[in-house]
Amino acid sequence: MTGAQLNELSRVGAVLQDEPMARHTTFGIGGPADTYIKVRDRASLRAAMLLAVRHRIPYFILGSGSNILVGDNGIRGLVIENDARSIEGPEDLNGGRARLRADSGMSFAALARQACRAGFWGLEWAVGIPGTLGGAVVYNAGAYGGCLADILTSVEVADHQGRTETLPASALSLEYRGSVFTRGLFRDRVLLSIEMRLRRGSIDEVMQRVAELDAKRKTAQPPGRNAGSIFKNPAGRPAWWYIDEVGMRGERIGDAAVSEKHANFFMNAGRARAAEVKALMEDAAKRVRERFGVELHPEVALVGEGFGPMDVRS
């Protein structure tokens, strides 16, 4: 970006250059972003996006840094970290229903836990899911039999002309870990806020269910630096079963490792590089394909540059 463009951007928020993305991802992996800005409200998110469009600068919207693997050579253009977290509700409606609206940068797990502590059903399955609410919409996040499509009613988006509009959930074509966003149909739109419908219940009953799911998640999922589930679950059996069956539990390439606790979690066990994680993913997918004829598709998004042959460590 030019000096004039950086000055313009600095009026939206604090700007960093050559910012290591490893500092901003749950994997702890990723080369530098050319330019990086953190925005704290919907207006600033829209303004940063429009500035990039106006100057023909590629941009990437970053949530909490989960569910992505950033390349070792980083991200060209502008990375916009979405930290817009305003919440409205839950507001009681008739028939025991409630409306909840939140900005797209809100922590999904924090929002879910807050709603559950207030005695609302609908987000109890989400209390341990990392990432932002916007990311949850993009990938139709789900766990333990629930998913965002079950409760989503509408979203507010901004397009490259600066227009904002509210779209019904039906316009997003939500499916298992996918939507119009993942299929590239909404490349010119940015999520600003999300509205959901919840059901009022007993605080004790809701929190009892949350405690059960917390315990289940703690037992099944490994702590440490990872991006969550690496592969989507194919039909029939979960991805971890296939990875385990082909003998890859505990396998390593450099400091990228398949978790001993959950084979669909790949870990940064030290100074892992994106190229190492990608090579491990390709090895797992190849073994499963050759033995079972099943294709494993990534659930994590590969973002930026530098996933090719691994460089020699210095």
Q: What would the mean pLDDT of 191-217 be, rounded to a whole number?
A: 97
Instruction: Give the distance between the most distant pair of CA atoms in the chain.
Output: 64
Task: Provide the token pair at 219.
Answer: 């037992």
The strand pairing partners of 190, in sequence order, are: 158
* pLDDT the model gives residue 308: 80
* pLDDT the model gives residue 122: 97
Spell out the alpha helix ranges (H) of 192-301: 203-220, 239-245, 274-292
Q: 314 an active-site residue?
A: no
Q: What is the DSSP letter of 171?
A: G
**pLDDT bucket at 188, cuts 50 / 70 / 90:** very high
* pLDDT the model gives residue 314: 28
160 to 24, 119, 218: CA distances (angstroms): 26, 39, 41
Question: 14 and 38 in contact (C-beta within 8 Å)?
Answer: yes
In 3D space, the residue among 117, 139, 115, 43 whose CA is nearest the CA of residue 83 turns out to be 43
Q: 99 an active-site residue?
A: no
Q: What would the mean pLDDT of 57-68 be, rounded to a whole number?
A: 96
Question: 282 and 261 in contact (C-beta within 8 Å)?
Answer: no
Q: What does the alpha-carbon distance between residue 112 and residue 214 come to, in Å, rounded to a whole number?
A: 12
Q: What does the alpha-carbon distance between residue 274 and residue 284 come to, in Å, rounded to a whole number?
A: 15
Q: What does the alpha-carbon distance between residue 25 and residue 31 come to, in Å, rounded to a whole number?
A: 11
Task: Provide the token pair at 108.
Answer: 């999904």
Q: What does the alpha-carbon distance between residue 133 and residue 62 come to, in Å, rounded to a whole number?
A: 12
Q: What is the pLDDT of residues 50-61, one digit of tens each?
A: 999 999 999 999
Q: What is the pLDDT of residues 264-295, one digit of tens each?
A: 999 999 999 999 999 999 999 999 999 999 99
Q: What is the pLDDT of residues 227-257, one digit of tens each?
A: 999 999 999 899 999 999 999 999 999 999 9
Task: Say whether the peptide bond before residue 222 is cis (omega within 30 degrees of 0).
Answer: no
User: Which residues in the chain belong to E strands, given as ranges?
Assistant: 15-20, 32-39, 59-62, 68-70, 75-82, 87-92, 97-103, 120-121, 142-143, 146-147, 152-159, 164-168, 189-200, 226-229, 252-253, 256-258, 265-268, 301-303
The residue from 229, 251, 259, 287 that is catalytic is: 229
Question: 105 and 134 in contact (C-beta within 8 Å)?
Answer: yes
Q: 177 an active-site residue?
A: yes
Q: What does the alpha-carbon distance between residue 246 and residue 255 come to, in Å, rounded to a whole number?
A: 20
Give 301's Cβ-side CA count (13 Å radius).
21
* pLDDT the model gives residue 309: 62
Q: What is the pLDDT of residues 124-156, one digit of tens each?
A: 999 999 999 999 999 999 999 999 999 999 999
The residue from 40, 113, 177, 189 that is catalytic is: 177
Q: What is the pLDDT of residues 98-117, one digit of tens each?
A: 999 999 999 999 999 999 99
State the average pLDDT for the chain: 95
